[in-house]
Amino acid sequence: MKRKIAAIFAADIAGYSRLVAEDEEETLRRLASYRQVTDDFIAKCGGRIFNTAGDAVLAEFPSAVEAVRCAIDIQESLRTRNMAYPPSRQMAFRIGITIGDVVERDGDLLGDGVNIAARLEGLAEVGGICVSRAVHEQVANKLSVQFADIGAQEVKNIPTPVHAYMIAMRREDGTYATPQLKKPVKPGSAGAPAWMWPVSATLVLLAAIGVGGFLYYTKLETSVTQPTMVASNAATPAASPGPMPPSAPSATSSPAPASATAAPAPPTSAPPNERFAADSIPFISDRNRVLLANEYVRAGDAKALAINLNGFIGWVAGQANKDAAKAAALDQCQKRADNVGTPRRCELYAVGNTVVYVHGRPPLPPLPWVKRDSLVEKPFASKDMPMVHEPGRNRLDSLFTPGRKTKTIALGPGAQFFFNSGMDTLEESTRRNLQACGALAGVPCMIVAVDDVFVVPIPTTSRVTGFFKAADSSVITPNERSDIAHRLAEATTGWNAVAVGTQGRPGLGLKAASEAAAVNAALGDCARRDSDCHVIAIGPFAVSPN
């Protein structure tokens, strides 16, 4: 028997027994078809299936990154196939992934790594992916994937809790589903001696009696605040819809190879409980900011403000209490969002004059957000949009291309993009798109198009695979990364390209008049220092051969 460390992938079909009971032949036929999809993806990503049983699949991967990449590809592919069936007949996998020590015996793998992967699969949502902390640590900085930390989970036949993370999965409309958080194990709860439970129960009961008596004799009044999406019946004497933007921002996301992102993005600044300031509210129009600065700030309590990613707002004041204000603001905002069909839910931003928005400010790139350079600009065409697949390009053709000026497109490294049209100013258009795109991606996005032109170099000789950051590039030798990043930052006009050879020695083509000139210069510079050189970046983008 051989012992080794491997990334273990476990998958099975949710509700498989029910599907078989309802229609055995059709279920078995579709299982064979779906298994062909999963087997092909596993092989493509370098995995090896070592065990199957009915609807279950166990595979090993040499890399956690490849295991997660494979799982995302499988779930997105099967989600598309399931659209042809009613919800009750959809066949969706749950997938669990961990890194662990396993024993290989006659091609099969045994051990805690296999067992934990199977338990993580049981924690995953239908159509979702659940990974261990070890996998999260390996993948977090290598793939454009967002995670929801569900904490330590007690699982069957594993003596210690397993710290787990959910991966946010893409919906059909391009948004990302927020995983439902499982209840984590409380610190110290695992393995508590049985004799402690009666003692704990007695102490809790005594404490409850004491608190109850205190509240009774001092006649304290208490209330529990529970944010709700249900509309309040309270009157809204100071409710104001505020002016809406001429054209609400539109968002979509196109699947990029081995990438996924989720909403909401993690907080980057402005934690809850800061003082309300209208000019700090993300996503909304400048006119709504002015309205809120003039009217919301001066309004009396109880008041609340709700917002959503597409820039819709709802606010009320003069309510019976805070609960009524929160419910009414959420209801008002959501009705406006529902009227235009946006799938994004409204969330509370402020209660009274205190910010309660839990996601913080979305990440933004450094100023200036738009750089105009006639050497790289070219007419906008949706077919040239980097990383975006056909559905996203069709959306751009039908909504962005005919849209009124001022309009822009913000693009994220995982193929997220957000656009708007008919904005009052370029500053407002770029701000709103970068905020919304950054909230989806969890990292800063970039403005790639303004009105009818691309304003960044759009490669045509190579395929764009993401954003390029020289300082983080694993293929460039470490002692040269910072110098390459510095030289690229100083080359603010024309076309830039980066090539690298087998020894990781980079070559640069800077401030060139054309893409071809930059590529040739980078390859020539690399060839003088290394061998077998190839281009890895053009302009702001990481590239691979077409």
CA 41/CA 36 separation, integer angstroms: 9
CA 58/CA 163 separation, integer angstroms: 21
**Cβ neighbours of residue 524 closer than 8 Å, sequence gap 6 or more:** 507, 509
Q: Cα–Cα distances in Å, from 152 out to 157, 264, 293? A: 15, 21, 43
Q: How far does Cα 162 stand from its chain's mean position?
A: 23
Q: CB–CB of 521/511 below 8 Å?
A: no
Model pLDDT for residues 356-412, shown as the tens digit of each residue: 998 888 999 999 999 999 999 999 999 999 999 888 999 999 999 999 999 999 999
CA 431/CA 284 separation, integer angstroms: 9
Mean pLDDT calculated for residue range 44-72:
91
| Cα–Cα nearest to 170, from 418, 390, 441 | 441
Q: How many CA atoms lie within 13 A of 482 on its CB side?
A: 1
H runs (alpha helix) in 232-371:
286-291, 322-339
CA 195/CA 510 separation, integer angstroms: 72
pLDDT band for 497, please (50, 70, 90 cuts).
Answer: very high
Model pLDDT for residues 322-348, shown as the tens digit of each residue: 999 999 999 999 998 888 777 788 999
CA 176/CA 167 separation, integer angstroms: 10
Longest dimension (CA), the chain: 87
Specify the pLDDT at position 181.
53
CA 278/CA 259 separation, integer angstroms: 34
Domain regions of the chain by residue span: 2-167, 259-355, 378-454, 462-545
CA 95/CA 507 separation, integer angstroms: 42
Model pLDDT for residues 84-143, shown as the tens digit of each residue: 778 888 899 999 999 988 998 888 899 888 999 999 999 999 999 999 999 998 888 788
CA 375/CA 510 separation, integer angstroms: 13
DSSP secondary structure string, 431-488? HHHHHHHHHHHSS--EEEEETTEE-S---SSEEEEEE--GGG-TTS-HHHHHHHHHHH
Q: CB–CB of 529/535 below 8 Å?
A: no
User: 287: which DSSP letter?
Assistant: H
Mean pLDDT calculated for residue range 504-518:
96
Mean pLDDT calculated for residue range 468-487:
93
Average pLDDT value over all residues in the chain: 82
CATH homologous superfamily of 2-167? Nucleotide cyclase, GGDEF domain (3.30.70.1230)
SS3 271: coil
Total number of residues shown for the chain = 546
Residue 414 has pLDDT above 50, yes or no: yes
